[in-house]
Amino acid sequence: GCVLDGKLYPYGEIARTEDCFRCSCSKEKIRCCSLFHTPIGYDKESCRVIFNKKICDYEVVQKSDPTKECNVYSRV
């Protein structure tokens, strides 16, 4: 298998790792792509970014009230 961040994964396709990546594991290498996009266009003064591992995505919420979401204009 392949070791990624100290965890052993079997050869083949890995739909989702513990750190929210999709990977392909072979005897020669492991290739991974993230399952999330990082927000870059939002109100940085009023909002903050929180990574939610359960849904493998970033949430952008108000600093003053984290129960309220902020608008995100672009992600990478």
Q: Which domains does the chain have, with CATH numbers?
A: 2-34 (no CATH), 39-75 (2.20.25.590)
Q: Give the predicted TM-score (pTM) of the model.
A: 0.75
Write the pLDDT tens digit of every residue in 1-50: 999 889 999 999 999 998 999 999 999 999 999 999 999 999 999 999 99
Q: 3-state class of 9 per DSSP? A: strand
SS3 string, the chain, reads: CEEECCEEECCEEECCCCCCEEEEECCCCEEEEECCCCEEECCCCCEEEEEECCCCEEEEEECCCCCCECCCCEEC
Q: 3-state class of 54 per DSSP? A: coil
User: Tokens in use for 20?
Assistant: 């929210």
